[in-house]
Amino acid sequence: MSYLRHPRPIMAILWLTLLAGQALAGPVTLEVTPSGDIAEIGKNLVLEITVTPASGQSVVADRVTAEVTTPGSEVFFGTPYPLRRLDPSGPNDPVRFEWAAPVGEDQLPGQAVVEVRVAVPLTDGSTESASWRQDMTIDFGEEWSADKIANYLDSRGLPLFMLVVFGFGLLMSLSPCIYPMIPITLAVIGAQSQDKGAIHGLIMSITYVIGMAFVYAILGALSATVFSGITAFMQSPAILVPIALLLFGLSFSMFGAFELQAPAFLRDRLQGPGGSSRGGLFGVFAMGLVAGLVASPCVGPFLAALLVWVATTGNWVLGFFTLFTFGMGMGVLLIGVGTFPALVGTMPQSGGWMDTVKRGMGLLLVAMAFYFVRPGSVLPANVFYPLVGVTTILVAVFMGAFDKLAADSGWYPRASKGLGLAVFAAGMYLLFGSFLLYGFLLPSPIAGLGEHAAQTVMEPVARSGAVVVATAQPAAQPVPPAKVQWTKIHTGENVQAFLDEQRAQAKLAGKPIMIDFWASWCVYCKKLDKLVWKNPAVAAESLRFVTIKIDATVADDAEMEKIKEDFEVPGLPRVIFIDSRGEVLLGQSVGFLKADQMLAAMKSIR
């Protein structure tokens, strides 16, 4: 009741709430909007400043100055870039500016008060000032990076960090990357565990996953020592093609073409004298190594960040056990799958449903095999799609598409045959459709058909003799390029000198630089070329950059290795940004990003 009798405090609170985010000072109003909820370490702190003159006043926009400070704490950002005006408006309209400054990579997370003071000259000769302040959080962004991992390790300790690494591996075990391992695990462990109990199955499956995790541990140790580009190497055709062939071959065991097991002489050696389990464990461990290699190219952002961070530590022991922990988390699902066959012996005999499950797993193996050699990674489209069509037809045959049915066949055989025929139809569509679109060994029969039709439509106009009246047209605007235009640097002499010259000229012109480190064996480098650098918005934004593409295919070139070391390139692809003042922005360097993400990264460079 007392608040109702004295409404002035309530009105004051409401008024202050409405003014949150802006400050009033004389005849101008100042409003400041940060670009994000936090000041992200390694990126730019960007503030949008809006100055609104009072009625009848006009701002001299060219002479507005802004000073940003952090009262009571150390400044957490570097030297600001020049104040940039946004979308010019009328004389009495609000005037918008963008203030930006880099937040250093070595900055620690914390809190700070950010204060903005602006001096606003008016057209009547006077100068007004206004200020704004707000608490701001300084922290890493959502994406994991080498610096974020290092900070997490320093602040939380190694045991908790290992637990987090294990958790991310566990999340990866639920991703499609691990699904092709399920039928392999069943084939390797199931036959040995079905009649020996759940404990035996658990021991065998743990051994299998240890072998798988050992592969990741070796990758971690190599990344910390002699081979910092291990992530990109695992995406090269030299690794992807054998893995695709292995998955393709294993898929036909799921369709009943053969039984997946080691040769008799090898099984005898692996099982040891008298069929002991010691040799069996060794064999399962070896198959786990193969499984780890199969799953290794399908890595998530966290694993890539781990390898980058491990490469910066130079500690191979830490790299080994960090990646081993990740691999064990990633294999949790396989431990469950490997233990399950031990319980199958207590269940009724499997029937047609189990054959259907096996065929479904076979289709999954085929899909993953083609995923690894998809267009843009290894195979061109005019080879990839016909191969997919032929393979789909073969799969349909093994699924029983052309098997004869008895007159009294039930619903299941008929449904299975119908599904096989549907797969066969899809294979024929892929085979002949891809030939029409891309051609195969021969040119596409419909290539250029659209151009011919266009010419046919234009011919009657040319022959009619019609008079074409020229009308005044606005001046033609420059057409954005269809893709990013690069200055390409290849391995050879004087590469460093040429690069230094390009940097000097860009700094003199006040232009930022974008450098794309590329290699012919790098799958994601080619994906950047196909999906990102040809994006119209990305190509248009690249016009304000000096764009350089460095071919780092040759691994033993000393000068190129020195350049990669100077730019701290742990693996490919790597896109390095240098701002208009000539400062290398290592914290804003990126690997493969989608087109919209790359566009946002480019727009953040000043």
Strand order from edge to edge, sheet including 487-489: 487-489, 546-551, 513-518, 574-578
Tell me if 337 is assigned to some domain.
yes
pLDDT for the residue 327: 86
Of 104, 110, 113, 141, which is closest to residue 32 (Cα–Cα)? Answer: 113
The answer, as to whether pTM is greater than 0.75, is no
- Asked if 552 and 519 count as a contact pair (C-beta separation under 8 A), the reply is yes
Tell me if 4 is assigned to some domain.
no
Tell me if 396 is assigned to some domain.
no
588: which residues sit within 8 A by CB, 6+ positions away?
42, 43, 44, 577, 601, 604, 605
- Asked if 324 and 209 count as a contact pair (C-beta separation under 8 A), the reply is no
- Which of 139, 165, 190 lies at the terminal end of a domain, its last residue? 139
Q: 2-11, 257-266, 431-440, 575-584 — which is least confidently predicted?
A: 2-11
Rounded average pLDDT over 406-423: 80
Q: How far apart are CA 414 and CA 403, in angstroms?
A: 10
Q: How far apart are CA 547 and CA 545, in angstroms?
A: 6
More confidently predicted of 183 and 533 = 533
Q: How far apart are CA 52 and CA 168, in angstroms?
A: 49
- Asked if 549 and 489 count as a contact pair (C-beta separation under 8 A), the reply is yes
Token reading at 529: 């070329």
Q: Are residues 199 and 292 in the same domain?
A: yes
pLDDT for the residue 377: 66
Q: Are residues 282 and 333 in the same domain?
A: yes
Of 110, 109, 82, which is closest to residue 98 (Cα–Cα)? Answer: 82
pLDDT for the residue 492: 67
CATH of the domain at 530: 3.40.30.10
Task: Convert the pLDDT of each residue in 321-333 to its tens digit.
Answer: 888 998 898 888 7
- Asked if 362 and 248 count as a contact pair (C-beta separation under 8 A), the reply is no
Tell me if 530 is assigned to some domain.
yes
pLDDT for the residue 137: 92
More confidently predicted of 460 and 158 = 158
Q: Are residues 35 and 153 in the same domain?
A: no
The torsion angles phi and psi of 254, rounded to 5 degrees, stand at: -75, -20
The one-character DSSP state at 545 is S
Token reading at 562: 């020195």
Token reading at 590: 């990126």
> 193 pLDDT band (50/70/90 cuts)?
low
List the domain range (segments joined by +) for residue 158: 146-346
Q: How far is CA 473 from the centre of its chain?
A: 44
Domain count, the chain: 3
The answer, yes or no, to whether residue 140 has pLDDT greater than 70, is yes
Q: How far apart are CA 18 and CA 524, in angstroms?
A: 49
504: which residues sit within 8 A by CB, 6+ positions away?
none
Tell me if 365 is assigned to some domain.
no
Rounded average pLDDT over 350-362: 58
- Asked if 3 and 10 count as a contact pair (C-beta separation under 8 A), the reply is yes
The one-character DSSP state at 349 is P
The answer, yes or no, to whether residue 25 has pLDDT greater than 50, is no
Task: Convert the pLDDT of each residue in 221-237 to its tens digit.
Answer: 877 665 555 555 666 67
pLDDT for the residue 469: 36
Task: Convert the pLDDT of each residue in 66-123 to its tens digit.
Answer: 999 999 888 999 889 989 888 776 666 788 999 999 888 778 899 999 999 999 888 8
Q: How far apart are CA 546 and CA 507, in angstroms?
A: 10
More confidently predicted of 428 and 464 = 428
Per the prediction, the chain carries an average pLDDT of 74
Tell me if 67 is assigned to some domain.
yes
Q: Are residues 89 and 155 in the same domain?
A: no
> 460 pLDDT band (50/70/90 cuts)?
very low
Q: Are residues 87 and 159 in the same domain?
A: no
Q: Are residues 133 and 164 in the same domain?
A: no
pLDDT for the residue 473: 40
> 181 pLDDT band (50/70/90 cuts)?
low
Rounded average pLDDT over 298-312: 63
Q: Are residues 286 and 177 in the same domain?
A: yes
Cα-based angle 504, 510, 512 (whole degrees, multiple of 5): 80
Token reading at 145: 């990076």
pLDDT for the residue 480: 67
What percent of the chain stands above pLDDT 70?
67
Q: Are residues 324 and 228 in the same domain?
A: yes
User: What single letter denotes the amino acid at residue 27?
Assistant: P
Buried b (16+ CB within 10 A) or exposed e, 581-596: eeebbebbbebbbebe
Q: How far apart are CA 311 and CA 307, in angstroms?
A: 6
- Which of 305, 327, 346 lies at the terminal end of a domain, its last residue? 346
More confidently predicted of 398 and 82 = 82
How many CB atoms lie under 10 A from the CB of residue 147?
20
pLDDT for the residue 24: 42
Q: Are residues 202 and 265 in the same domain?
A: yes
Task: Write the DSSP assignment of 137-192 as a string of letters.
Answer: EEE--SS--HHHHHHHHHHH-HHHHHHHHHHHHHHHTTSTTSTTHHHHHHHHHHHH
What percent of the chain stands above pLDDT 90?
14
Q: How far apart are CA 34 and CA 21, in angstroms?
A: 10
pLDDT for the residue 278: 44
Q: How far apart are CA 94 and CA 116, in angstroms?
A: 17
Q: 70-79, 96-105, 499-508, 553-562 — which is least confidently predicted?
A: 553-562
Tell me if 427 is assigned to some domain.
no
Task: Convert the pLDDT of each residue in 569-593 to its tens digit.
Answer: 867 788 999 999 998 988 788 878 8
Indicate the helix (H) or strand (E) that contains 232: helix 230-233
Tell me if 382 is assigned to some domain.
no
Cα-based angle 327, 339, 346 (whole degrees, multiple of 5): 170
Which segment, 173-182, 235-244, 341-350, 398-407, is predicted with the most confidence on average? 398-407
pLDDT for the residue 546: 94
Q: 43-57, 110-124, 230-244 — which is least confidently predicted?
A: 230-244
Token reading at 468: 């074409």
More confidently predicted of 470 and 52 = 52
pLDDT for the residue 189: 67
Q: 132-146, 296-310, 315-329, 378-392 — which is least confidently predicted?
A: 296-310
Q: Are residues 591 and 525 in the same domain?
A: yes
Q: Are residues 80 and 203 in the same domain?
A: no
The answer, yes or no, to whether residue 339 has pLDDT greater than 70, is yes
- Which of 327, 346, 365 lies at the terminal end of a domain, its last residue? 346
> 380 pLDDT band (50/70/90 cuts)?
confident
> 194 pLDDT band (50/70/90 cuts)?
low
Peptide linkage before 237 cis (omega within 30 of 0): no
> 126 pLDDT band (50/70/90 cuts)?
confident
- Asked if 116 and 47 count as a contact pair (C-beta separation under 8 A), the reply is yes
More confidently predicted of 336 and 162 = 162
Q: 153-157, 221-225, 411-415, 524-528 — which is least confidently predicted?
A: 221-225
Q: 377-386, 476-485, 496-505 — which is least confidently predicted?
A: 476-485
Q: Are residues 42 and 157 in the same domain?
A: no
The single residue listed with the structure tokens 């000072």 is 25
CATH of the domain at 122: 2.60.40.10
